[in-house]
Amino acid sequence: MLEDVNEDDQSQLDGLMVYKTPILNLLIGAFVPDTQIIRYMDTNGIAPMPATTSIYSVFPHEESVYDVEKKLNQALGFYQLKFNRMLNPLYWVRVFLNLPAFIVNYLGFKSTRIPKTLKVIWWIILAIWWLFTPSIEEMRQSVLNYIYKLF
């Protein structure tokens, strides 16, 4: 089949090889499942034998580029949802309130007791900070004064 591809198309496919790992990482990160395609393998002049192959493993082959493009469109929805969530202020409140749990999970600890204990300690620290800091209006004024001094 590769013999049917003209030189321009082949050079474009070869150019995609540079981006194979980043593209596949994006697809795997978006939880887009791999699918199987049927390829016909030449067996030394005998009739071609069908064989199933993973799209991800043969990318960037002419048979897989269209399928990978469809999968990238699926992944685009996942990443747009993630981006929209990052713009949501409630997301950042959740991150701030659960910061120790996010850090512990990021570091790879599997115990559920550690994040819960750290969350309680974090909430106590936040409550003490909230009770003993100046009012929000004074904090806002101090931040604005600091910004004015910078400029």
Q: Residues in the chain, how many?
A: 151
Rounded (5°) CA angle 87-89-94:
115
| Residue 2 banded pLDDT, cuts 50, 70, 90 | very low
| Structure-token match 């936040």, residue found | 126
Residues β-bridged to residue 52: 38
Domain assignments of the chain as residue spans, ordered by start: 1-87, 89-151
Q: Does residue 3 register a pLDDT over 50?
A: no
The tokens describing 114, both together, are 């550690």
Instruction: Please say whether the dihedral angle defined by the alpha carbons of residues 57, 13, 4 and 2, taken in this order, is positive or negative.
Output: negative
Quick: pLDDT tens for 49-86: 666 777 777 777 666 677 778 888 888 888 898 898 88
| Residue 1 banded pLDDT, cuts 50, 70, 90 | very low
Quick: pLDDT tens for 95-127: 888 888 888 878 887 767 777 788 888 888 887
Quick: pLDDT tens for 21-49: 888 888 888 888 877 766 666 666 666 66
pTM: 0.51
pLDDT at 5: 45
Q: In sequence order, which ranges of 17-150 are alpha helices (DSSP H)?
A: 20-29, 55-58, 65-87, 89-97, 99-107, 113-132, 136-150
